[in-house]
Amino acid sequence: MIKTIKEYSVFHYTNGTTRINVYFSDDTWDYYTDLDSTRAILLLDILRNEKPVKWTEGAKTLWAGREPVGEGEKKSIFG
């Protein structure tokens, strides 16, 4: 089943691992746990910068929709 992520929370532990909880539009949630810093940064980048973000239940796959190649990010009027 594919779900849409509406919110997330991050926990970083003293042993150096990270946990990311993802909360879905149907008011359920799931998580990634024991993430190394490289994987945590990648997932957080997607969660912060992409919309919509989807989750494939069972496989625990987080993904974003199609985007044009070379689109880049829109610049803010504030610089």
Instruction: Give the model's pLDDT for residue 11.
Output: 96
Look at residue 79 and tell me if it is in a domain. no
Look at residue 21 and tell me if it is in a domain. yes
Look at residue 56 and tell me if it is in a domain. no
Which pTM does this prediction carry? 0.80
Look at residue 11 and tell me if it is in a domain. yes
pLDDT > 60? residue 8: yes
Domain that holds residue 19: 2-51
Q: Indicate the number of domains in the chain.
A: 1
In angstroms, the CA 17 to CA 35 distance is 5
pLDDT > 70? residue 22: yes
